[in-house]
Structure formats: C-alpha cells, structure tokens
Structure 1
Amino acid sequence: RWSLTIIISTIVATGIFVYHTPHQRIAGTPVEAPQRFKHHRYPRQLPTPIYEAASTTTTRETPTTTPATTTTASTTPVAIANTITSTLKEEKKNIRLPRALKPLHYLVKLQPFINGNFSILGYVEVEMEVLEPTLNITLHIVDIITKNETIRLIDKDNQEGAADLVIKKHEYDNEREFYVAHLEEALQQGHKYILSMEFTGFLNDNLRGFYRSTYRDAAGNLKFLAVTQFQATDARRAFPCFDEPGLKATFEVYLAREANMTSISNMPINNTFP
C-alpha cells in the first residue's frame, strides 16, 4: 500500500526522511490500494535499477576543446597562444550556472523504493523567469537518468493554444554536473517558462542528496530509512534543479511511501492521502 504526502517548502534544503514504522493516518482514510502520483505522464511501473541502467544512460562527457597551442601556426606569437589557452582553461573551470534564468517555483514528486532496488521514480516542474534572452536552459544533475522523451518546455505567459517549445538537443556535462537543454528559439526576456521532466534516481549510501540509511529496532531487525541532505549543493542528487544557494525558490513536494511507513519534514505536511 502506498500513501502520498504533500509538503510545502520555501527553501532548497528541505529535510525529509521516511522510515519503516507504523504511521498515523487520517481517520477514515482508506489505504487498501497502491497509489502512485496522479500525473498523466508519470511512470506506471517500477523502473530498471539505476545501477543496471547506468551503462545505457545518456549522460556523457562534454567534448573538450583542443587547446589553441596545438593548432596555432608557428607564426602565431607565443604570448597570444598562451593567452588563448589560459582563457579556455578558465572557462572550463567555471562551474557556476548562467544567470539568464531565475527559478521561481518547483513542483517535485518522488517515490523511493526503500524495500526494493533503492531506485527513485521522480518528476519535476520548475517555473523560471527569463532575465535575458537565452538559447539554452542549464540545470544541475548528478546520478540521475532523465527520460528525454518526457522533457517539455512551455511559455507560461502564452499557454493557451501554444505548442511546446522545441528542444533540439540534450547535453550532459559530468565534470560540471550540468544538464543543458539547447532550444530551437530563444526564450523571451521577462517571460516565465515551465520546464518539466520525468527521471530515475537512486538512494545512494553516501550521506548526500536523497540517500538510504539503516537502523535496528528493539527486536534487532534491520530497518531502512530514506533521508535527505541537500545543503549546500546536493539537491541535484535528488532532482534536476538550479542548485546554487543564490538561486532560491519555493517548493511543493509530493512524497510517495508505503502505508506502513512514516514521512517527516522540516516543513509542515499539507495533506496525506492513499
């Protein structure tokens, strides 16, 4: 049996954990049937374990730029060649997100399989404001497999009758932990857009992001927990996001769990239902 808990949060460092003990449900609320997120595009079956899917993930290293010194003609002054090479190295080291977009609000849905293969079914919508025209959207992402066929981008200021904006290329930069959506048309300054996607994550055992832990009850039985540690830059391990302290937003979080488990957050629980 599955229950769904809604948590409203105003900071990215939302603390959530789920543990295997009886929970107190709302009187009269039935829990007879399994329940997953009610979203018409949400996955309806347990995903392939992420550790098996890792070999087929679309994440890849971004092709590196060949230093200018290896292609510059011998007549090029050495000082100029060194300057170009130095600039390329500085650009590669830049791990900050572009400032063309500002996140406003996230809708996050997570379903961790604590008693299964430790995978996570996920869905995220991020509403953002365009501060300057841009042809790409860059988010942080680590140890997450995006389902590219589900990624959508809409203009919130022009939703009625408007088609999805075309994403012509999905790019991954493992070194800088970036996901980049390259667009057919530039986003308009002052407009608000919503990017949404489904993804598969993993409850790691590294004490970072959305991870798993264990304890033993009074009878000595081993129990599993799913815990979050997002501060300062590990929310990207739970869902794709603008994961920098300076890019704060509001959050609406849906957490699915088995009915015999309990979910706790550092923000008030809005509702629990099967």
Structure 2
Amino acid sequence: MAALFSTRPFSGRLLSLMVALLGLTCPAFSASADQDGGNNMQFPWDKMRLPRHVIPVHYDLLIHPNLTTLTFSGSAKIEITVTQQTSSVILHSKRLHITKAAIEAGAGGARSVQEVRVLEHQPFEQVALLAAEPLRPGHSYTVSIHYSANLSESFHGFYKSTCRTQDGELRVLASTQFQPTAARMAFPCFDEPAFKARFSIKIRREPKHLALSNMPI
C-alpha cells in the first residue's frame, strides 16, 4: 500500500517525513555507479556547486523503508528543463546505490528513452548521468533513477530512530532531517536552495503502519 503526499512548491528543502514501521520487506540492491576515474572516464564537472543549465521542475518520488533490514529503496522521476546543450546531468547523491538510470524525452507516442551511464564523484557528493545523445536547450526531459541505501545511523538524511508507546513498548521508526544538505542521503536531487521544484511523494507501507508529513496530505 502507498500513502501519497502531494506538496505545493517548496523553497530549497524537501518536507520532513516520519514513518512508523514494524517489519516491511524490501529488496537490497548493489551499486552500479562507477567511481570517479573508473574505466579511465573523467567526471564531467569539477565544481562544488551544480551547473545551472539543467533545472528541476518536479520530483515524483517513491520510497520504501524496511525497518527489519534497516534499509530503504526508492525511485525518483525528475522533470527537468535544459537551457544549453549538454550530454550530462549532474546532481547530488550521498551513500545511495544507484541501480538503474535513464533519461526520457518527448511526449505521447513520440517518447524516447535512453539508458545512461552513472559516474560518482564522492568528494562533492555528486553523480553524473552520461547520455549517449546530447540534451537540447529549450526541451524538457524526465530523469528516472532507481536506488537503495542503508538508513542513516546519525540524525541526518533518512535515519533510523526509536520511540516508546504509553505502555512502554519500544517502536522503531524512520525519520528525516534534510537541512542543510542531507536530502541527497534520501534520494538523488539538486540539493541546493536555488533549485526550487514541486514534489509528489509516495511512501510504501502496510495499512497498519503510519506515515506523517509536515506538508498537507
């Protein structure tokens, strides 16, 4: 079962989420992103700030936490616009294992999808999606990324926590803290205040479990 959260435009940071869960099942994936310099490929960006010619418009997120294995998996579909020709999309990702990525162009029956290669640059917490065909200015695209990760042991990103009921029973929950730069630990994103976008979020859970948000549900 999925709980849907639709949000208004949010400036700079994603909403906070808290999911009280007691035993979901979730597949674990291995990383497919190449480390910086793997196979003699150079990371196509050398600055800490992201380039400004790829702009996110809307995020469609599905996140599936598993409090049994202390992991989570997810998918992100990010609508972007391009202001100058480029063969790469640079965004933030930290401790996420990307298993599949693609870029979709066009609309209706004219849609085309191309698989992309993923490079990772850990010092700047960035990943690059390398497209075989250049993205053209003035066009809109959809970036699709599937990934998995461990829940954080700190109070940053998407992390594991606990609480006690009035009867003293210990419960496990997953919560988020994205400020100032920890949204990238929950899903690949343009994790800078200048990149404002809309979000639609689904949390996969069982009916007996509860998902809370600080934005309208």
Match of 1:260 among 188, 208, 215: 208
Judged with a 3 Å threshold, the aligned counterparts in structure 2 of structure 1 residues 212 and 170 are, in CA distance, closer, same or farther, namely same
- Structure showing the higher helix proportion among its residues: 1
One-letter amino acid matched to 1:154: E
Judged with a 3 Å threshold, the aligned counterparts in structure 2 of structure 1 residues 13 and 231 are, in CA distance, closer, same or farther, namely farther
Specify the alignment match of 1:14 in structure 2: 15
Q: Is the 8 A contact 2:21 2:205 kept in 1?
A: no
- What is the TM-score with the length of structure 1 in the denominator? 0.70
- CA shift digits 1:110-151 (9 cap, x unpaired): 01012x101112011000000111110011101111112xx2
Task: Give the deviation of 1:238 after TM superposition.
Answer: 0.5
Match of 1:99 among 34, 52, 62: 52
Distance (Å, rounded) in 1 between the aligned partners of 2:21 and 2:145: 29
After superposition, the CA RMSD in angstroms is 2.2
How many residue pairs are counted as aligned between the two chains?
207
One-letter amino acid matched to 1:62: D
Judged with a 3 Å threshold, the aligned counterparts in structure 2 of structure 1 residues 59 and 164 are, in CA distance, closer, same or farther, namely closer
Counting aligned pairs with the same residue, the percent is 29
One-letter amino acid matched to 1:165: Q
Secondary structure of 1:245 counterpart:
coil
**Does 2:113 correspond to 1:164?**
yes
Judged with a 3 Å threshold, the aligned counterparts in structure 2 of structure 1 residues 4 and 132 are, in CA distance, closer, same or farther, namely same
Specify the structure having the higher radius of gyration (Cα). Answer: 1
Distance (Å, rounded) in 2 between the aligned partners of 1:216 and 1:127: 40
Structure 2 gap segments, 5+ residues each: 39-44
**Does 2:154 correspond to 1:154?**
no
Secondary structure of 2:5 counterpart:
strand
Match of 1:130 among 35, 58, 82: 82
Task: Give the deviation of 1:221 after TM superposition.
Answer: 2.1
Judged with a 3 Å threshold, the aligned counterparts in structure 2 of structure 1 residues 136 and 198 are, in CA distance, closer, same or farther, namely same
Distance (Å, rounded) in 2 between the aligned partners of 1:20 and 1:132: 44
Secondary structure of 1:164 counterpart:
strand
Q: Is the 8 A contact 2:26 2:64 kept in 1?
A: no
Matched ranges for 1:80-229 at <5 A: 92=46, 94-114=47-67, 116-148=68-100, 151-156=101-106, 158-167=107-116, 169-229=117-177
- CA shift digits 1:209-254 (9 cap, x unpaired): 1111112223332211111111221111011111111101000000
- What is the TM-score with the length of structure 2 in the denominator? 0.87
